[in-house]
Amino acid sequence: MKYQIIVRADTKNVLNIFIDQEMSLILKCSRCNVIRENAVDCTLKPLQKDNFSNKYSEIMKCHECKEQYGLKIDPALNHKHITKPSLDGIYEEVNLSIKKDNYFVVTRIETFDCEIYKVNKLIYNVLCEDKNLYRNIQLDGGFWSEIDKSGKSYEISDLQMELVECPRGRKYS
């Protein structure tokens, strides 16, 4: 199965909302339909091989049927260099989300022999229009605001995170 995690929000002076590709997921085995009790912490890291040489970001065993399942994180993000204003000539590379119409695609995940049952909270990063970068923001209440040294305000409101299942046989949109 292929999924996208998207974020919809009303923004003010915000260019992009993205994550560092770290997330906590509750998975369900596709073979026995048992929902894993503990969340799986997933990160974008070198791919691992299973017993059949398939490559995954995470490989787990179902506690019930003992079969292996896995998932692959495919961020498919835009790379961007952000110049830090306080450090002349120093830049930081960030992986921005793909912006579509009125939402951001923060990650893409492909699962093998399991389904994503639930996405636990995500930690966000915000790139503002003037290239100010704010990291590790918890948007549990769906709201965030900040005022920089010059008095310019940035705001995110009505944030909604959605797990979108891509139809079988179709590529990510």
pLDDT band at 170 (very low <50, low <70, confident <90, very high): low
Q: How distant, in Å, are the alpha carbons of 29, 97, 140, 151 from that of 170?
A: 22, 21, 32, 46
Residue 50 has pLDDT above 80, yes or no: no
Least Cα distance to 4 among 101, 99, 75 occurs for 75
Query: Which carries the bigger pLDDT value, residue 148 or residue 89?
Result: 148
DSSP state, 47? -
Residue among 129, 133, 136, 126 at smallest CA distance from 156? 126
Is 82's pLDDT higher than 80? no
Return the SS3 of 52.
Answer: coil
* Angle, vertex CA 20, rays to CA 16 and CA 24, nearest 5: 120
52 vs 68: CA distance, rounded Å:
11
